Amino acid sequence: MVKSKLMAERPGSTLKRFVLWDYPRASWQYDVMVGLILAFIFLTPRDVFRDQPRPKNVMLVSTQGAHASYWIEPEAVEGTDAAMRQQTVERLVHSQVGGKNLKITKVEPIFDEEKEIRGYIAYTSR
């Protein structure tokens, strides 16, 4: 009787029942749907969705009234000459922090013991 009922279904109704999740738990159709979902979750590579964690290039260090200072990762400013550095940092701060009314007043490089640049501190005012 069950077999004749399945054979009597129209061809589109099987797809409709699958999409609407209309099968009872513990049926083989339900198990197939769950298996397909789990396979999609665990077998799909991350880069298909471009869901890679990205570190922040700009981080707030401190605020004092209308003034704030931001840490800028050196990779974010890499390849920029000293003359254009302040404008590049200002664009970075505006894009990642918001606040179009922030004005970068000074950008200082931070060096380690070997005199390599570890980052930049950008000082802002409103």
Q: Which one is predicted more confidently, 42 or 5? A: 42
CA distance 33 to 63: 53
**pLDDT the model gives residue 1:** 47
Per-residue pLDDT tens over the stretch 29-63: 899 999 999 999 999 887 787 766 666 788 888 88
pTM: 0.54
The average pLDDT across 104-123 equals: 91
The average pLDDT across 11-40 equals: 87
- Residues with Cβ within 8 Å of 66's Cβ and at least 6 positions away in sequence, in order, are 125, 126
CA distance 60 to 46: 29
- Position 110 pLDDT exceeds 70: yes
Starting at the edge strand found earlier in the chain, the sheet holding 103-111 runs: 58-64, 67-72, 117-125, 103-111
